[in-house]
Amino acid sequence: MAVYAAVGLAFYLTLNIVKIDEVIAKRNIDMYFAGQTESLDMEYLTTLSEDAAPAIMRLLEKDVELITRNQARIYLEAIKERYSNMEQNWQSYNLTVEKNKDLLEENKDKLQFIYN
């Protein structure tokens, strides 16, 4: 019985430590850039949590289709807006939020609406 409890605890901890949404987004976007898929399911990718933001940020590059870049931009702008309305106290501190805030600030020029 102790073995099952240990395995269950290890699985639970793994799910909480590994950013599953980031792994999913990164894998899908890597496949897109490698030419293993012709298009991305942006409707799905934009439903992923904020953990996916660093991977989705890669879609703002020039060699990505215009509609895909704009969908990525809309997703990232929504996260940026959510962060600006967040309560700032130590109880709500989140490392992913801080990293994403820095990432969004560093790439704010890429978040402008893209026309071509």
- Looking at residue 110, what is its pLDDT? 86
- Asked if the model's pLDDT at residue 30 lies above 90, the reply is yes
Residue 116 lies in a domain: no
Q: Are 53 and 79 in contact (CB under 8 A)?
A: yes
Q: What is the pLDDT of residues 47-91, one digit of tens each?
A: 999 999 999 999 998 788 889 999 999 999 999 999 988 888 877
Q: Can you give the residue range of the structural domain that contains 62?
A: 2-111
Mean pLDDT for the stretch of residues 93-110:
90
Q: How many domains does the chain have?
A: 1
> CA 82, CA 70: separation in Å to the nearest integer?
18
Tell me the pTM: 0.80
> CA 76, CA 69: separation in Å to the nearest integer?
11
